[in-house]
A and B are shown apart, each in its own frame.
Chain A
Amino acid sequence: MKNKILILSFLLLLWILIYINLDSLTDFMVYTLAGLEKNTSLTNAIWFFIYEVPKVLLLLTLIVFVVGIVRSYFSPERTRKMLGGKKLFTGNVMASLLGIVTPFCSCSAIPLFLGFVESGVPLGVTFSFLIAAPMINEVALVLLFGLFGWKTALLYMSTGLLIAMVSGYIIGSLKLEKYVEPWVYQVKAGQLEMAEEKVFFVDRINVGIDAVKEIVAKVWIYIVIGIAVGASIHGYVPENFMAGLMGKSVWWSVPIAVIIGVPMYSNAAGIIPIVQALLEKGASLGTVLAFMMSVIGLSLPETIILKKVLKFQLIGIFVGVVATGIIIVGYLFNFIFV
């Protein structure tokens, strides 16, 4: 236990040291060790790769670790308890925020939906949760932060939250309970009293470490590929290659990006290389963000799963409202970022 904290503190110190000196470390490796000539396209591409890969992986490790610890304080069962009987609006705000920190896998969407609705969480509030949980993804957040800076990351998170709150609120106000399959309301959901075991902080640290092992092992390859793509197109694809198709002067690019993005499904890490490549080549931020959100936030497999409990009218409204929200965000970004 003591040892573990000692090791972790040491690792954190090492993390900080490497992170703040990454510039000079990369310079040393590229120019001194490898002796590459400065300012050629090839050297720049290599420098970019050697600098970005450890940077993003470092950020990812730290954030996944912290998020893992934070999530250990939450569970869907506890979130349901907090949301039970909440009014619209307050409920939507809470559900969207809880969507970020509650551990959730879209394969559990059905039991979660049933459990929420059964215990009296309003339909619109349940939707806020179901929209926020996949849309705001910690891996995407880290990558946006690492590759495009904190402003982009913050905007991604806040607009994601806003879409979840507003969409849920709209769905709640429309009184759509009649489009939920009737059997849903007949399910006898048990109330589970899971023994609240005493959890020590060291256990939570272990949860964080497990999260790092699981997530980083799964996504590192996408990150390396993404950065490699970014590095190699750095000098070789014309700068404004995508501007004609996805630039901000093309008004229809946002809805098209969403229409293409909705049926696509990818995890957040898989989509980032594409985002990176598109942005690099002149696609505008709003269009790319809209594309990314529709890929990770709305997915065909999840809507098919939801068909078990929702009539297709409600699925249509759900997809329509969220897609509209994403389109508005896309235009907003294109408008703000010149």
Chain B
Amino acid sequence: MNIINVYVSGCANCKKLEQMCYNALQELQIDASVEKVTDLQEIMKTGILSTPGLEINGKMISSGKLPTQSTLVHWIQDNIN
């Protein structure tokens, strides 16, 4: 099972990234679970300093920025089993 974690702090970009993940998965026809992580301790454990953070299958891909939809699709394709 592929797992995508989105680390969020309630900002506009955070919500957007989560939604974009769903869209990307639909576009790629890939089955993965998207988890929204809001717990501060969990966020800090990853070492990122700004939200939203994007982690695909345990690998931290980006933090603090909103990729374009096509970049996100590439990231998911490259890191999915």
Contact = CB atoms under 8 A, between A and B. Distances in A.
Interface of A: 75-77, 80, 103-105, 107-108, 110-112, 114-116, 118, 187-192, 194, 210, 308
Given A105-B11, A194-B60, A76 B49 contact: yes
B44 A77 contact: no
A-B pairs with lowest CB-CB distance, top 5: A192-B47, A107-B11, A190-B47, A76-B49, A108-B50
Given A105-B11, A107-B10, A110-B40, A76 B50 contact: yes
A24 B46 CA distance: 56
B48 interface: yes
A111 B68 contact: no
A275 B40 CA distance: 38
22 contacts: A75-B63, A76-B50, A76-B63, A76-B64, A77-B63, A103-B50, A105-B13, A107-B10, A107-B11, A107-B14, A108-B11, A108-B49, A111-B40, A111-B48, A111-B49, A112-B49, A115-B44, A115-B48, A188-B41, A192-B60, A194-B60, A308-B40
Nearest to B50: A108
A118 to B, nearest CB: 7
A112 B40 CA distance: 11
Given A107-B9, A107-B11, A115 B47 contact: yes
B43 interface: yes
B31 to A, nearest CB: 25
A105 B9 CA distance: 11
A187 B41 contact: yes
Interface size on B, as a range, is: 20 to 34
A114 B47 CA distance: 10
Given A103-B65, A108-B11, A110-B9, A115 B49 contact: yes
Contacts of B51: 107-108, 111
Interface of B: 9-11, 13-14, 40-41, 43-51, 60, 62-65, 68
A190 B46 contact: yes
Nearest to A206: B68
B10 to A, nearest CB: 6
Contact of A118 (B44, B48, B62, B68): B44
B76 to A, nearest CB: 16
Contact of B9 (A111, A118, A192): A111
B58 to A, nearest CB: 12
A188 B9 CA distance: 18
Contact of A190 (B9, B13, B44, B65): B44
Contacts of A114: 40, 44
B45 A188 contact: yes
A103 B64 contact: yes
B46 A77 contact: no
Given A103-B50, A108-B9, A192-B46, 6 more contacts: A75-B50, A80-B49, A108-B64, A111-B50, A112-B50, A118-B44
Contacts of B40: 110-111, 114, 187, 308
A210 B68 contact: yes
Contacts of A77: 47-49, 63
A188 B41 CA distance: 8
Q: Looking at A77, A105, A190, which has the most chain B CB atoms within 10 Å of its CB?
A: A105
A103 B63 CA distance: 11
Residue with the greatest number of chain B CB neighbours at <10 A, chosen from A75, A80, A103, A107: A107
